[in-house]
Amino acid sequence: MPLLDIQSLVVEYHTLRANVKAVDRVSLSLEKGHTLGLVGESGCGKSTLGLSTLRLIPPPGKIVSGQITLDGIDIVNCSEEEIRRVRGKKVGYIFQDPMTSLNPVKKIGDHFVEMIRTHEPGVAKEDALKRAEEMLSRLGILPERINDFPHQFSGGMRQRVMIGLALALDPDMLIADEPTTSLDVIVEAQIIELLKELKESLSLTLILITHNIGIVAETADRVAVMYAGRIAELGETGALFEKPMHPYTQALLNSVPNITKKGQILSWIPGAPPDLAEPPTGCRFHPRCPYALDRCKEEEPLLLKHNSSEVACHLYDRR
């Protein structure tokens, strides 16, 4: 039984201009203890997908249809009470920007205390602080620093604090939304190593949302590639990198530099991602696809099984 199961999820933003389908009929599942890399460029819907698993989509966005089942709980339809119990306790969320995600007037220790006592009201303040200290030292921060304020921490440290907060209640699953985007290269490597280590020691289930293909290659068991609100390809990491099937995946992998590859020629994808208010007919990628068939302009491809992966592309659809 997968820990997380998403079926035909549709999330729309109702703006003055138009209805934007940020997530359009996405289905995927995640087994316990596995890591899913959710990859795509800006505007593909990956962040929206992550937020929807905890019903955290800000208005004017809303979940229009579909199902999200997390450890048996119906996320889309459950009560406010229930979803609040899920947030933090069952699922930890690491938000995109550690610079602004921490309250600047609260000490780090108080962040932890608030987090813990909201979900476990009976816990005494001293005990909560003790747990905070343990968590910090596990993440490589001196425990005394629970008395410091966010601005006294550097970027990488703040990100570690965010990870600590997300893990404070021992959740089953962790969702990290662009956890290293605003960090320097070396700190990024430190954080990725930390995540890998935590994955091992805590048997974490992890969703890693990013546009950085490199860190996904390193940490994920399975990868989902999103484009314009839909999943283009979904498969085991090794298979996806070795033999990418969807033309978008292929093009994406060819546009990322790999310093271990000698004499690599980088390519690119002409054009730009579509305006989700008026997406192209048929396959959303067809205007930029080098292999587009007539069928691609009219019929939207379904996500179908092919070998051990899933692809949404007519090139693989023999029906």
Cβ neighbors of 126 (< 8 A, separation 6 or more) are none
Q: What is the DSSP letter of 285?
A: T
Q: What is d(CA 260, CA 186) in angstroms, rounded to the nearest whole number?
A: 18
Tell me the three state secondary structure of residue 151.
Answer: helix
Shortest Å, Cβ 162 to other proteins: 15
In the complex with other proteins, the residue whose CB is nearer, 154 or 281, is 154
Give the interface with other proteins as residue ranges (CB under 8 A): 13, 15-16, 20, 41-42, 60, 154-157, 184-190, 192-193, 211-218, 237-238, 241-242, 251-253, 255-261, 264, 266-270, 272-273
| Paired residues of 210 in beta bridges | 39
Q: Is 45 exposed, middle or buried (0-12, 13-18, 19+ CB in 10 A)?
A: buried
Closer of 171 and 247 to other proteins (Cβ): 247
Q: CA-CA distance, 244 to 50, in Å (whole number)? A: 24
Nearer to other proteins (CB atom), residue 2 or residue 273: 273
Backbone angles phi, psi at 25, to 5 degrees: 55, 65
Tell me whether residue 124 or residue 272 sits nearer to other proteins (CB atom): 272
Residues 6+ apart with CB under 8 A from 300: 282, 283, 284
CB of 165 to other proteins, least distance (A): 19
CA angle 13, 14, 20 (to 5 degrees): 50
Q: How far apart are CA 296 and CA 112, in angstroms?
A: 51
Compare residues 45 and 156 and give the one whose CB is closer to other proteins: 156
Closest to other proteins by CB, 128 or 136: 136
Phi-psi region of 72 (alpha: psi -120 to 50; beta: other; left: phi over 0): left
The smaller minimum CB distance to other proteins, of residues 114 and 275, is found at 275
Rank residues 79 and 268 by Cβ distance to other proteins and give the closer one.
268
Amino acid at 303: L
Measured CA to CA, the distance from residue 120 to residue 166 in angstroms comes to 15
Quick check: bond before 2 cis, omega within 30? no
* 104, 153 contact by CB (below 8 A): no
What is d(CA 81, CA 196) in angstroms, rounded to the nearest whole number?
33
